[in-house]
Amino acid sequence: MLGLSNIKFLQGDVGALPIEDGSFDIVLSLNGFHAFPDKEAAYRETYRVLKPGGTFCGCFYVQGGHKRTDWFIRHLYQLKGFFTPPYETEQSLRARLSALYKEAEVTAVEGIGCFCCKK
């Protein structure tokens, strides 16, 4: 077992993180936001726990980027409860992150929005 003192795993609600303001240098979210029931709270909380100058990066499903992906989301993943609307589009994600962060780079590849932001 590795003895890493600067890594801690917690389980909790992304909309109400049990973490102090400005605690992290980096927040990484891989394929999560499309499933969160309260996306607004998740955006607020990830911003809140990030240190000034910190990095928020990750990826998740964005609507309208690939017709086949959109079909699977609507007809399978959403019905099973794995994905929760509303969904970002590439344009709405870019606008949201650019309004929140000092720097925001957003790209999309066939229905997956990838981003890297600096607070």
CB 56 within 8 A of CB 45: no
Nearest to 56 by CA among 19, 20, 27, 33: 27
Low-confidence ranges of the chain (pLDDT < 70): 1-4
Euclidean distance between CA atoms 22 and 90, whole angstroms: 27
Sheet holding 24-30, edge to edge: 24-30, 50-61, 112-118, 103-109
Sign, Cα dihedral of 61, 66, 69, 71: positive
CA 119 to each of CA 49, 58, 62, 89: distance values in angstroms, whole numbers, following the listed order: 11, 14, 22, 22
Instruction: Read off the pLDDT of residues 37-65 as tens digits, 9 standing for 90 and up.
Output: 999 999 999 999 999 999 999 999 999 99
CA 69 to each of CA 61, 73, 76: distance values in angstroms, whole numbers, following the listed order: 9, 6, 10
Domains contained in the chain, CATH given:
24-118 (3.40.50.150)
Q: What crossing angle do the helices spanning 90-100 and 39-49 adopt, rounded to 10°?
A: 40
What count of Cα atoms within 13 Å lies in the side-chain half-sphere of residue 83? 21
What does the pLDDT read at residue 5? 75
pTM, 2 dp: 0.89
What does the pLDDT read at residue 2? 60
